[in-house]
Structure 1
Amino acid sequence: MSTEFRKLLLEVSEALGTEELSALKFFSLDYVAKGTLEAIRDPKALFEVLQERCMIGAGNLFFLKELLYRIHRIDLLTAHLGSSREEMERELQVPGRAQVSDYRQLLYGIAEDLTSENVQKVKFLLQGPLQKSKLQENASMLQVFLEMEINEIIKEDNLTTLKDILQGFRADLKKKIDAYEGKKREKYSREEVRYPVSVSVYPEEQGAKQYGEIYKMENNPHGYCLIINNHIFKNRRHNREGTLQDGEAVKRVFKWLQFETVEYMDLEGKKIYDTVEEYSKKDHRNMDCFVCFIFSHGEKDKIKESDSSGHLEVDARPPTSIPDRADILIGMATVEDYFCYRSRSTGSVYIQSLCEKMELLCPQRMDLASILTEVNREVATKDIEGFKQMPKITSTLLKLLIFEVPQ
Structure 2
Amino acid sequence: MDSLSTPWLIIILLGLILASAFFSSTETSMMAINRYRLKVLAKTNKNAKRTERLLDDLDHLIGTILLGNNLVNIFAASIATILAIKLWGEGSVILASLALTFVILVFAETTPKTFAAKNPEKVALPASIVIDLFIKLFKPFVWIIAQISKIILASLGVKTQNENESITSEELRMVVNDAKPIIASNYQKMLLNIIDLEKVKVEDIMIPRNELISVDINKPGDLLKQLKHIQHTRLLIYDTSSDNITGLLHMRDIVNLYAKGDFSIENVLTLIRTPYFVPEGTSLAHQLAHFQTQKRRLGLVVDEYGEVRGAIVVEDILEEIVGQFTSNQNEIIDEIIKQKDGGYLVDPRVNIRELNLLLQLDLSVTKAKTLNGLILETLQSIPKHDVSLKIDNILIDIVQISEQTIKLVRLTKLD
TM bracket, shorter-chain basis = under 0.3
Relative contact order higher in (CA < 8 Å, ≥ 6 apart): 1
TM-score by length of 1: 0.20
Bigger Rg over Cα? 2
TM-score by length of 2: 0.19
More strand by share: 2
More helix by share: 2
